[in-house]
Amino acid sequence: MSTVENASPADDGTPAEAAGIAAQDWATASASPQYRAAVVDLLGALAYGELAAFERLAEDAKLAPTLSDKAELAKMASAEFHHFERLRDRLSAIDAEPTAAMEPFAKGVDDFHRQTAPSDWLEGLVKAYVGDSIASDFYREVASHLDTDTRALVVGVLDDTGHGGFAVEKVRAAIEADPRVGGRLALWARRLMGEALSQAQRVVAERDALSTMLVGGVDGMAAGFDLAAVGEMFTRITKAHTKRMAALGLAA
């Protein structure tokens, strides 16, 4: 999942309520069935997102105007598939069936990609830069409440595949060549922002274990975010989006 200028959790450290889980390794934290279910959900959502990103980048490569652009996207697609493999293998290692873990999220992710299918090369670049980065910011926020082993894996698979810098370069060049392109792409990016935030909210709302982890834990889990903190989280994600729009040369 590619991203540039990833929004990281708040600089003042892990919330005190979450310190219990966040300071534990997987072997200790997974003693809570509720926490274990939340992690399986999270890894399943991420794994399917990476698999879908691989498929989308491979498809977008067909729209590339040059052979070098096509090769660049193919390289990024390969990186996304490697991330998927790491998540799949981790699910297997914690005795969760990867396909079953991914299945609840497949329709939502597929629907998002159908609703935001790019009409051309530039829209595809903006989607990868804006849409994927919003998702990455969300998962990085969640990662601050995970055990040390799971947090390291999640942060690792959210590493930038290089798509961010590539997208900025190509989009800014296109706007410089034809300023009218900027207005169209700005509207497209705003649409992506709305759809991506809605998708992130649905991921949490539709899975009890994940929502419990975020807005008040039970059964020995960390308390996670309170409702006010959830609002602050989405505010940080929105601010990071505004910075990315500026990097692209677009108005937020």
The Cα–Cα gap between 245 and 189 comes to 8
Each residue of 123-159: pLDDT tens digit?
999 998 888 888 888 888 888 889 999 999 999 998 7
Helices 227-248 and 163-177 cross at an angle (nearest 10°) of: 50
pLDDT category of residue 230 using cuts at 50, 70 and 90: confident
Question: In angstroms, how far is the first alpha carbon of the chain from the final one?
Answer: 22
State the pLDDT at residue 4: 42
pTM, 2 dp: 0.83
pLDDT in tens, 79-97: 999 999 999 999 999 999 9
CA distances from 233 to 39, 83, 224 (A): 19, 25, 12
pLDDT at 1 over 80: no
Residues 218-234, mean pLDDT to the nearest whole number: 63
Tens of pLDDT, residue by residue over 64-84, are 999 999 999 888 889 999 999
Q: Report the b/e string of 100-113 with b at 16+ CB within 10 A.
A: ebbeebeebbeebb
Query: How far apart (Å, rounded) are the C-alpha atoms in residues 49 and 35?
Result: 21
Where do we find the tokens 């706007």?
175
Question: 250, 74, 43, 55: which is closest to 161 by C-alpha?
Answer: 74
